[in-house]
C-alpha cells in the first residue's frame, strides 16, 4: 500500500481550479477567489487520497459490522467438548496426535528433557541427536537407527487408552480421520481401520530397498528385528532396507496432503493430543478447519498458541485462555488421563476399559504363541 504522501498529487502536478479538470495545461491560471471554482468541474477532479480514505473506512466498517462467531461449546472444558459430541454435533472428528499418546506404551517422546528420545542417544555416538533420523546419515551409518528400532518396534508394545479410544469412536461412527506424527504403527496394532489413519511421517507398515526399490512387508521387517543378528537388513542386491518412515531430508507422503485437502474442510471437531505442534507442515493443519469448529488440545504443556501480534498479522493458532476465544479448549495433563476423563463424560469408560483388556490379552496370547515356535530364517 502506498504512503499517503505518495497518493497526494504534488503542487506542480495538481489540476488547477478553473481549468475544468479535463486537461492540464502548462500555463497556470489562478482563480480570483475560491468562490470562482465551478462546483461541477471541481467534482470531476481526481482526489485519490479521499478515495483511499473512503475505501479504508468501508473496509473497517465491514470488519466491525461482522457478527462475532457463535460459540459452539457450552463451556471451554472437557465437559463442553463431551456435550458437543454427545448431542451428535460431531460426526467428522479429526484427531491430530503425536508422541504423547504412546509414552505410556513405553515409546519415549522426542523433546522432553531427561526422558525424551533426543536426550538419551549418547550411547549411539551421533554427531547430533537428530542424525539418527537423517537420511544422509542413515545411508552411510544405518546401525544406530536399527539398534534403536529393536527397542521401539511395535511388536513388543501395547497400544494405549488413546489408541483404543480413537478406535471406539470410529466404531461408533464419530471418526473421520487420524493424522499421526508417530512411526510406531500402534494405531494399526490397536485394530483401527487402516483407511482412517494418515501417517504424516510414514510408518513401519512397509520397507523399501534403497538400491533396487524392492518392497518388504511388515511381517518381514518384524521377523528381522526379532533377531539380534545381522544388525542391518540388506536386500539380495546388497542395498540397505529402510522402513518407509520419513527421515529428515525426505518429502512427506503425498497422501498426507491429498487427504488433508479433502478432510479438514469437512471436520466438525478437531482433537489434538500429545504433540508440541512445532513441526510443520503438520502443526499448521490446526488452522485448516472452519472457524466455527471446536478444537481440543490434550497435552502436558501449552502448545499451538501464537502471540497477539502474530495473530494480528494474519497468522492463526489456538486461542484458549484468550478473551476473544470462542472455540478452543486446553486440558493440561497426560494424554491417557485426559482421554479417560473424556470417555467417562461420554459414558464410554467401561466400554473402553473392556476393549483395552480384551485386546491386550490377544497381544499377550500372540506373543506367547510366537515364543513357543521356532524362529524363521531371514530371507
Is 101 marked within a binding site? yes
Strands 241-245, 197-199: pairing kind:
unpaired
Is 183 marked within a binding site? yes
For the chain, the straight-line distance linking the first and the last C-alpha, in angstroms and rounded, comes to 66
Q: What are phi and psi of 243, to 5 degrees?
A: -55, 150
Is 182 marked within a binding site? yes
Measure the CA–CA gap between 42 and 139, rounded to whole angstroms: 76
User: Grid coordinates standing for 248?
Assistant: 529428515
Are the C-beta atoms of 167 and 191 separated by less than 8 Å? yes
- Per the DSSP assignment, residues forming a β-bridge with 296 are 271, 329
Is 316 marked within a binding site? no
User: Grid coordinates standing for 170?
Assistant: 470410529
Is 239 marked within a binding site? no
- Per the DSSP assignment, residues forming a β-bridge with 334 are none
Is 212 marked within a binding site? yes
Measure the CA–CA gap between 113 and 236, rounded to whole angstroms: 41
Name the 3-class secondary structure at 156: helix
CA atoms within 13 A on the CB side of 298: 23
Is 173 marked within a binding site? no
Q: Residue 69 gets which letter from DSSP?
A: P
Is 103 marked within a binding site? yes
User: Grid coordinates standing for 219?
Assistant: 511381517
Is 99 marked within a binding site? yes
Name the 3-class secondary structure at 98: coil
Is 11 marked within a binding site? no
Is 64 marked within a binding site? no
Are the C-beta atoms of 198 and 175 separated by less than 8 Å? no
Are the C-beta atoms of 166 and 96 separated by less than 8 Å? no
Active site residues: 201
Is 235 marked within a binding site? yes
Name the 3-class secondary structure at 202: strand
Other Cβ atoms within 10 Å of 180 Cβ, number: 29
Is 276 marked within a binding site? yes
Is 245 marked within a binding site? no
Q: Which residues are annotated as a binding site for NAD(+)?
A: 99-103, 109-111, 181-184, 275-276
Q: Which residues are annotated as a binding site?
A: 99-103, 109-111, 181-184, 209, 212, 235, 237, 275-276
Amino acid at each position: 500500500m502506498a504512503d499517503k504522501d505518495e497518493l497526494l498529487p504534488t503542487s506542480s502536478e495538481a489540476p488547477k481550479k478553473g481549468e475544468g479538470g479535463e486537461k492540464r495545461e502548462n500555463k497556470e491560471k489562478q482563480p480570483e477567489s475560491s468562490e470562482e471554482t465551478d462546483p461541477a468541474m471541481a467534482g470531476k477532479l481526481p482526489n485519490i487520497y479521499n478515495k483511499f480514505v473512503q475505501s479504508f473506512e468501508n473496509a473497517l466498517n465491514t470488519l466491525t459490522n461482522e457478527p462475532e462467531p457463535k460459540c459452539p461449546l457450552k463451556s471451554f472444558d472437557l465437559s463442553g467438548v463431551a456435550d458437543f459430541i454427545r448431542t451428535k454435533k460431531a460426526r467428522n472428528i479429526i484427531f491430530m496426535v503425536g508422541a504423547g499418546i504412546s509414552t505410556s506404551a513405553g515409546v519415549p517422546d522426542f523433546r522432553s528433557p531427561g526422558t525424551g528420545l533426543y536426550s538419551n542417544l549418547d550411547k549411539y555416538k551421533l554427531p547430533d541427536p537428530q542424525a539418527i533420523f537423517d537420511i544422509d546419515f542413515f545411508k552411510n551409518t544405518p546401525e544406530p537407527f536399527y539398534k534403536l528400532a529393536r527397542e521401539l518396534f511395535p511388536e513388543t508394545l501395547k497400544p494405549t487408552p488413546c489408541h483404543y479410544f480413537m478406535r471406539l469412536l470410529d466404531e461408533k461412527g464419530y471418526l473421520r480421520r487420524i493424522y499421526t506424527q508417530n512411526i510406531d504403527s500402534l494405531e494399526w496394532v490397536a485394530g483401527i481401520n487402516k483407511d482412517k489413519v494418515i501417517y504424516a511421517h510414514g510408518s513401519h507398515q512397509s520397507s523399501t530397498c534403497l538400491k533396487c526399490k524392492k518392497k518388504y512387508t511388515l511381517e518381514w521387517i518384524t521377523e528381522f528385528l526379532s533377531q539380534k543378528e545381522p544388525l542391518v537388513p540388506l536386500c539380495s542386491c546388497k542395498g540397505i532396507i529402510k522402513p518407509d518412515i520419513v527421515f529428515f531430508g525426505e518429502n512427506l507422503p503425498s497422501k498426507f496432503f491429498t487427504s488433508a485437502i479433502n478432510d479438514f474442510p469437512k471436520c466438525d471437531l478437531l482433537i489434538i493430543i500429545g504433540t508440541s505442534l512445532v513441526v510443520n507442515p503438520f502443526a499448521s493443519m490446526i488452522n485448516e478447519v472452519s472457524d466455527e469448529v471446536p478444537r481440543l488440545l490434550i497435552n502436558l504443556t501449552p502448545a499451538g498458541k501464537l502471540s497477539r501480534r502474530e495473530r494480528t498479522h494474519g497468522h492463526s493458532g489456538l486461542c484458549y485462555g484468550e478473551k476473544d476465544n470462542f472455540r478452543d479448549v486446553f486440558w493440561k495433563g497426560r494424554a491417557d488421563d485426559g482421554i479417560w476423563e473424556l470417555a467417562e463424560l461420554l459414558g464410554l469408560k467401561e466400554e473402553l476399559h473392556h476393549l483395552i483388556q480384551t485386546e491386550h490379552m490377544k497381544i499377550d496370547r500372540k506373543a506367547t504363541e510366537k515364543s513357543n515356535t521356532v524362529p524363521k530364517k531371514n530371507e
